[in-house]
Each structure stands twice: as C-alpha cells, then as structure tokens.
Structure 1
Amino acid sequence: MATAQPLVVSGEGTVFEEIRRVAAVVGCEFDHAPDLAAARGRWTRAPLVVLDEDIAVDSPPMPARDSVVLVCKGAPDLDTWRRAAALGARRVFSLPDDEAGLTGAFADVTDAPAESPGPVIAFVGGRGGSGASVLAAAVAVEAARTGSALLVDCDPLGGGLDLPLGLEHTKGLRWPEVRVSGRVSVPSLIASLPSRGNLPVLSCGRSGDGPTPRALSAVVAAGSRAGRTVVCDLPRHFSEGTLAVASAADLVVLVVPVEFRACMAAKQVLNHLRPHTERFAVVASGHRADGISASQTAGMLGPPLIADVSPERRVAITLESGEFDLPPKGALATAARAVLANLRPLPTAQAA
C-alpha cells in the first residue's frame, strides 16, 4: 500500500506556489485539493494537512484531526487565528517569514525520525598527521558494515575525505556545494552524495569554502535524527562549526601520537574543546617514541584510552592508491570497533 501524502488545500495562487516550492526543498510530494469540499474524502487519511488561509474563509465543518497547519501571507491577525481554530490548525505559518517552520512540517512527513537518534562521533588530531582522518573513515566504514552511517568532512583544509576513500572522481556534491540550513531531508541529501558502498560521504572539495556553521549543524542533526551513526572529521582550528559539532557529539575522540610533544599539543586541543563538552576519549597512534606508552599518553591528558593503533603497511599502501583496504583483523579496524563499542557514557575527563 502506498504511503499517504500530505494534503495541500489551496487555490492556484501565490500562496500555493510558495507551498509547492517549500515542499520541493525537502523532496515532499503532496496531494492537492482546490477547496475543502474536494478535500473532505482525504482529510483524515493525510499525515499532514496544509491550508491556504483564503480557503479557510467561511469554511464548512471538517472532521477533527491533528497535524493541520494554516498558511497565510503577512502577519496573522485575529481573524486568521479564528479560522485556524475552526479547522483544528494548531500552527499558523506566515510566508515567507515562517518558511523554516513549514519546511519542518513537510520534512517530518518525508523524513520521519528514527525510533532513536543515531550517535555522533567527532575525531580530532592531537597534532597534525596523527591519523584522525583515517580513523574517522575507518569508523564510518565499520559502522556502515552493520548499520547505516554518514561520514562528514568538517576540515576545508584537509584535502577532502573523498581522496583516501577513492571517491575523488565519483559524482556527487561536496562542501561548499551543499548549502542547507534548518531542517534537512536526509533521503535527498544522501541521494546527492558520493558513496563507498552504502556509506555516503560529505567531503570538502579541493577549492572554495568549507561548510558554514549552520549547514554543518543541520547535516549532523539530520543524520542523527535519521538514526545514522554520524562520523565527523574535525579540523584543529576551532571555528564556530567545529565547536558546534564537538558540543553535539556523543563522543569526541582525540587521536594522539605516542610521543611527548604530541601530548603537549593535544593538551592545547583538549583545553580549547573542554568548555564545549566533557565527552572525550583518547586513541593512541603511531610508533612508540620518547619512551612513553599508550596508557601514559592518555594519562597525561585525562580522558580514558579506548584504543591503540599501530601503523599498518597494507593500509598505508592502499591509502596512497585510494582503495582504503580495511582488513577486519587489522589494528585500524580493531580500533574502529573499539570506538563504536565505547558509545556509552564514559568517565568524565579529568584535567591533567
């Protein structure tokens, strides 16, 4: 049986064109009735009813139902609210000022939230070259093997996460081509992105600006709302967007090479992020240096150590060729699974 569509009750005027444009933004198809008499047979079946105020003038009684909204041009007056109340509309949207509200109403139908939101994991390097981007990609690949995920590149100066995944020649949108804010339709977004198997990747391009803070927040929120595991690769420069993602993340993973200087650099990163979240964990990376261990690395920083990634020659070779081979029993895949397993409340990071 086909899923019922929203019902728009409106004449062929300016308001109808505005409603149609807003619905198109989130990829929402709808049924159209020119007046309430024509709408009566579909009134109770539609998941959402959108009324043009002009249609609501001298309206006949309609069956009581939820999810009715009324759309008007200009600021609603007392008569507008009376018409809304008579037809059971609990929300009134004035276009174009309340476009975001109407967009959200359509998106609630086309993009119904999952039973539970998906986790958001953010990765940031303790210093440059720590392997945070590679680990973020590995975690997204692992998450997509057993569920649904979304990999989001938040670093406009990182060269693009599509490169290590071999997607640089795959058609699809990148930042800054994705320009969204407010409510985002996940099916429409996913369909527009390049994918590695069933893993959609929103990468930064090789030119132009990166994501705006509003666009970044909207995409991350949409992916989580749809129940996907959202994996974000953060830059080490702390823009408004970076801090917003860190604040929203269920876990911020600090990837730190096992060396003293890297620990000192990672402390600075941690200090910048700590006012925005306390949900941290450490992954140690690289060869041992300076006579310190992975556990000592985490001990100098405070957050718990959840994985230790040793270099893998096979992975390094495939990264250069854009194949990103992830052996299931390798150190990188093992660390990725450890990160996913730790998506539960972690001990609060202590200042170190």
Structure 2
Amino acid sequence: MNQAAPRTAPAPSLAPALVLVRDHRLRAEVRRVAAAAERTTDERALPVGRHAWSGAGLVILDTAAAAAAVAAGCPRRAGIVLVTEGEPAVPDWQAATAVGAERVVPLPAGAVALVEQFAEHAEARSGDGVVVAVAGAGGGAGATTLAAATALRGAARGLRRDTVLIDGAPLDGGIDLVLGMENVAGLRWPDLVIEDGRVSAAALHNALPAAGPGLAVLSCGRSRPASGSGSAGRSPTELTPAAVRAVIESGRAAGDLVVCDVSGERGAAADAMLDAADLVVLVVPARLRSIAAAELVSAHLEERNPNRGLIVRGPAPGGLRGAEVAELLGLPLLAAVRGQAGLASRLERGGLSVRRRGPLRDAADAVLAVVGADPR
C-alpha cells in the first residue's frame, strides 16, 4: 500500500493535483515539490474515473503511467506533466507525446519547473458534466425508451444548462423516431464531421435538432448520405469510437448531462460509451428469459465499467420482484417499475413525453438521483 502523501493547507481555491506516478522514488519527489509549492496531491492508480482525470487542474504521470493512461483511452487534455528520474530518454519523450503531456520535467533537477506547473494549473477544470449509458438485456428491454425519458426529465428539470441524448444503436432506426422528431432539421450521425478528435459543445448544440428547450439529440441515420456531402458518403450505421468519445467529452467539458443509448449494441463504439459513463444502467424486463440474458450482459458491462445499476421493468408474468432480480444479478437496484399503460401507442403517435407522473418518469428520476445530476 502506498504511504499517504503529506498534506498542507493550501488556499481553498486550489484543487489537488492528480498524481499517477508508479515509481516510488519519483512519487516521493513529487510529494516534496508539492509541499514546497503548498499544494495537496491526490495519489491514485490507473484506471481512474473520468471525473478525476478531466476535473483535476494538473495531472502528473511517469512514463509507465502515461503508457497505461493511453491504453485505457484517457482523453487528451490540458495540464498533463510527465516526470522522469534524471534526464528523459527517447521512450520518455514518446510516452509524453502519446499522452499529450505539455511538459517533461526531470526530477530532482527540474523541481522549479514543476512548481511553476503547480502554479499555472492551480484551478480545477470546469468539466463537471455527467454521463449516463443505458443498456438493455435482450431486444425490447426498453433501454432506448429509458434513455430518452432520462434525457427529457433532465432537461425539463433544468438539472444542467444543456442535455445531450446520444443514439448509440445504429441498427435500431434512430432515436429521433422515439421522440417524434424525425422531421426536425439538424445533423444526424452520418452528417457529423469531427476533425482532430474534438468538437465544440456550443457548435454541437447549434447543429443538432432539439427535442425541447436545452435538449439536443444526436440520432443515427436511416439512409446513406448523398454523394459529395460533408460526411463523405459514410454509411448511416457507421459510428467510430473516436467520434463517440469526442462528442461525449465535449458535453462533459461543458458541464452537460449526456445520456447515451447503448441498448444491445456491442463493439468499439458501444464500448466507448460504456467506458466514459459515470453510471451504466441495465434495463431488465421481469421475465425469466430476459434475466438469463441479463446475466451475460451484466458480465460484459462489468468488464467495461464497475459503476452499474439496475432498472427492473414490469409486467412480471411470474411474479418476480425487483429485489429478487437484483440479487440474482448482483447489481444495485435503482428502481423496479410496473409496465406503463398506453406507452406503445404514444410512441407510435407523436413520440415520448414524461410530463405526467408514471412508471417511466419514476425510473428516469431514479437514474438522475443516483448520478447526482443536479449540481445544486
């Protein structure tokens, strides 16, 4: 076990620096410099949550940790410093380039340079957005409907300034149909062009169709883009992990609520959504076959993200209770709700709404309560 870092009493506005240094001698040097700079450190081992990585004002790594961060898919960001014991060699510079480090600081000789970095990146970053991914156990589990309801409730309650609903199921016909907004103008996935792995949150909100005040929807397409369009004729079913990460991280950096509909998708793009989520919600109908499928799905989700919760959806023909299903799957139960009368016809005629109380709205509120989407 690593020895706890000595802590000083910095000014309240100064955020701890995230230290991901594996070498114990280098870690001790970083502690010494941090004490001299009157800064606290938050020492962790990879993998770390996206909030810790993106929210820290300064991230300090050694070469081994930098390689691990790249392998884990940690997004590039400002305020990364790589420290080395003595003068850096070629592998150190290569690791720094791969992780996007701003500086390579040899210790102990470069202690003054590290103090300068502490001073330059003293404030916590503003990327305090929340990301929820919703997956389903088997076809028709209701993951898409819950994802849409969660986004609608988040926007209606004003939990964040903006909410983004991301369609991650390219073979399901488009989540805009669920919301009854298939004819609303705006970009869909096949039209979206992302350069350099980055996208502006403001530009994204302006370009996407809105399902209501503060709710932008990025839906999958249903037809191949016209030849010569900005999307270069990509297939409507093509979602790349890099594009998914860029959209999610832009929302997180802007402080948005980001809801991803993973449904039953598998593959690199779906995994990118699961990896990025602060909470992965598994929706399971209270039926024996669905529960059997959920055991396999839950095992896959556990490999991607430890932060999981369960929504059990009725009706329950065999009388299965939500707590029983949660115990079978070994997942924390967020809510168990009955089937919602008239939901299918509402989806066919005008699209989903959650203005009135009901099981679906209760399930969405349970999800939002768990992730603490209200910054107040």
Pairwise same-fold verdict (TM > 0.5): yes
Aligned mates of 1:237, 1:132 — CA distance in 2: 11
C-alpha distance 332-91 of structure 1, shift in aligned 2 (>3 A): closer
C-alpha distance 180-235 of structure 1, shift in aligned 2 (>3 A): farther
Aligned mates of 2:267, 2:345 — CA distance in 1: 33
Over residues 84-139 of structure 1, what are the superposed CA-to-partner deviations in whole Å (9 max), with x where a residue is unaligned? xxxxxx979xxxxxxxxxxxxxxxxxxxx973421100000011101110010000
After alignment, is 177-186 or 133-142 more displaced? 177-186
Equivalent residue for 1:226?
Answer: 254
Unaligned runs of 5+ in 2: 1-77, 79-100, 104-123, 224-235
- Taking the TM superposition and a 5 Å limit, the aligned residue runs for 1:185-196 are 185-196=200-211
Alignment counterpart, residue 159 of structure 1, candidates 164, 173, 176: 173
TM-score (norm 1): 0.64
Equivalent residue for 2:212?
Answer: 197
Aligned mates of 1:236, 1:196 — CA distance in 2: 24
Over residues 137-195 of structure 1, what are the superposed CA-to-partner deviations in whole Å (9 max), with x where a residue is unaligned? 00000110123210000010111000011110011111121121522101111111111
Structure 1 counterpart of 2:370, which letter? N
Equivalent residue for 1:340?
Answer: 368
Give the 3-state SS of the residue equivalent to 1:334 in structure 2: helix
Equivalent residue for 1:128?
Answer: 139
Over residues 194-222 of structure 1, what are the superposed CA-to-partner deviations in whole Å (9 max), with x where a residue is unaligned? 11112100000113223211101110111
Equivalent residue for 2:199?
Answer: 184
Structure 1 counterpart of 2:203, which letter? S
Check conservation: 2:168, 2:220, Cα contact below 8 A. Answer: yes
User: Which structure is larger by alpha-carbon Rg, 1 or 2?
Assistant: 1
Structure 1 counterpart of 2:138, which letter? R
CA RMSD of aligned residues (A): 2.2
Task: Please state how far the C-alpha of 1:223 moved relative to its aligned partner.
Answer: 0.7
Aligned mates of 1:318, 1:291 — CA distance in 2: 26
Over residues 209-245 of structure 1, what are the superposed CA-to-partner deviations in whole Å (9 max), with x where a residue is unaligned? 2321110111011111111110000042321111111
Aligned mates of 2:102, 2:269 — CA distance in 1: 31
- Taking the TM superposition and a 5 Å limit, the aligned residue runs for 1:260-275 are 260-275=288-303
Percentage identity across paired residues of the two chains: 41
How many residues are treated as equivalent by the alignment? 237
Over residues 23-65 of structure 1, what are the superposed CA-to-partner deviations in whole Å (9 max), with x where a residue is unaligned? xxxxxxxxxxxxxxxxxxxxxxxxxxxxxxxxxxxxxxxxxxx
- Taking the TM superposition and a 5 Å limit, the aligned residue runs for 1:292-311 are 292-311=320-339
Give the 3-state SS of the residue equivalent to 2:272 in structure 1: helix
Aligned mates of 2:332, 2:263 — CA distance in 1: 22
Alignment counterpart, residue 186 of structure 2, candidates 164, 169, 172: 172
Give the 3-state SS of the residue equivalent to 1:124 in structure 2: strand
Structure 1 counterpart of 2:163, which letter? A
Task: Please state how far the C-alpha of 1:286 moved relative to its aligned partner.
Answer: 2.4
TM-score (norm 2): 0.60
Aligned mates of 1:91, 1:227 — CA distance in 2: 24
Structure 2 counterpart of 1:127, which letter? G
Task: Please state how far the C-alpha of 1:270 moved relative to its aligned partner.
Answer: 1.2
Equivalent residue for 1:206?
Answer: 222
Task: Please state how far the C-alpha of 1:328 moved relative to its aligned partner.
Answer: 3.3
Check conservation: 2:176, 2:217, Cα contact below 8 A. Answer: yes
C-alpha distance 325-235 of structure 1, shift in aligned 2 (>3 A): closer
Equivalent residue for 2:154?
Answer: 143
Alignment counterpart, residue 289 of structure 1, candidates 289, 314, 317: 317
Task: Please state how far the C-alpha of 1:325 moved relative to its aligned partner.
Answer: 2.6
Equivalent residue for 2:264?
Answer: 236
Structure 1 counterpart of 2:205, which letter? I
After alignment, is 219-228 or 271-280 more displaced? 271-280
Structure 2 counterpart of 1:180, which letter? I
C-alpha distance 202-329 of structure 1, shift in aligned 2 (>3 A): same
Aligned mates of 1:117, 1:241 — CA distance in 2: 23
- Taking the TM superposition and a 5 Å limit, the aligned residue runs for 1:305-324 are 305-324=333-352
Aligned mates of 2:296, 2:347 — CA distance in 1: 29
Alignment counterpart, residue 130 of structure 2, candidates 119, 123, 138: 119
Structure 1 counterpart of 2:336, which letter? D
Aligned mates of 1:286, 1:206 — CA distance in 2: 30
- Taking the TM superposition and a 5 Å limit, the aligned residue runs for 1:25-174 are 115-147=126-158, 148-174=162-188
Over residues 237-287 of structure 1, what are the superposed CA-to-partner deviations in whole Å (9 max), with x where a residue is unaligned? 321111111111000000000011111101111112211111110000120
Aligned mates of 1:253, 1:209 — CA distance in 2: 23
